[in-house]
Amino acid sequence: MTDKLIATPSRTNEIMKKYNLKTKKSLGQNFITDPNILEKIVTTAQLDKFTNVVEVGPGIGGLTEILAQHSKKVLAYELDQRLLPVLADTLQQYDNITVLHQDVLQAHLAKDFAENFEAGPVKVVANLPYYITTPIMMHFLESDVEVAQLVVMMQKEVAERITAKPNSKAYGSLSIAVQYFMDAQIAFIVPKTVFVPQPNVDSAILSLEKRSEPLVSVVDEKQFFKLVKGAFQLRRKTLWNNLLSMYGKDEAVRTWLTEALQTAEIDPIRRGESLSIEDFARLSNALVNSKL
Ligand code: SAM
């Protein structure tokens, strides 16, 4: 047992040597070695001793340790079996951590929450494996569990795409898919130099809170997301051309599209990237409401 934090360069090095641990790129393994960043994550997540935390991918336990110190209970999902004995060792002094050997995408969240958490809100705080950032966020969003806030580290570029506004290069269907359901803010940027091994790009901490109602009122969500995806299919094409590729080119379709665009007051020669979420909602509702 040692009092030195896991997420320091020297202790991380020591642990990796002791267990002869080679990180797996395929599992997105980049361990944080900077306690200041971890403190900033805890502050962003506004943790306290009444709050339960879910962590995805504890790795060797650097973030897990700080989460345990600042919250009521930590439930961590780790896919890499080799890390289980390491975590049992590095986190042995904490009695409020449960590590499950489990792919988080396959996890039955409602059941795990019920078995591991008593009263109190649940927050997701994690340095995500970058190859599955979006599926993990969607898994928490779409399952029937209450998550008060997600504070997650991801590639800076992905965080910028998620929070992007219209008329920017980063704006696209991912921005709309996330902003429709959640209020998303970049809390701060994390330089690649604080990780072992060092990734190729910088990271960002994103704070997300689920909205009580979606950002815009949509008659048919499936149709709305189909429209959004299609409008960004070929970014350089006009909205009109993307709509024709999506719905077909015959005369009846052209009339239907023209009428819907008029109702929504959207110029067909605009590009998808200039449409706000409100614009997409108006157009999608007009398409549903007018008959083909
Ligand atoms: N939390 C540690 C840290 O910040 O130093 C490690 C973060 S590392 C970026 C991502 C972790 O997620 C790795 O430990 C990896 O093994 C784990 N992981 C990858 N895919 C996973 C999955 N599908 N389910 C659960 N954990 C996964």
**pLDDT digit string (tens) for 138-176?**
899 888 899 999 999 999 999 999 999 999 999 999 999
In tens, the pLDDT along 206-259 reads 999 999 999 999 999 999 999 999 999 888 899 999 999 999 999 999 999 999
CA angle 262, 256, 236 (to 5 degrees): 70
Non-local (6+) Cβ contacts of 20 within 8 A are: none
How far are the Cα atoms of 77, 78, 126, 139 from residue 107, in angstroms, in the given order?
9, 11, 16, 9
pLDDT over threshold 50, residue 1: no
Half-sphere exposure of 32 (CA within 13 A, CB side): 30
Tell me the whole-structure pTM to 2 decimals.
0.93
Instruction: Give the pLDDT mean for 51-62.
Output: 98
32 lines ligand 1 (CB under 6 A): yes
Domains contained in the chain, CATH given: 2-210 (3.40.50.150), 221-290 (1.10.8.100)
Q: What percent of the chain has pLDDT over 70?
A: 99
pLDDT higher than 70, residue 2: no
Query: Which atom of ligand 1 sits closest to the CA of residue 126?
Result: 1
27 CA to centre of ligand 1 in angstroms: 7
Identify the pLDDT of residue 147: 96
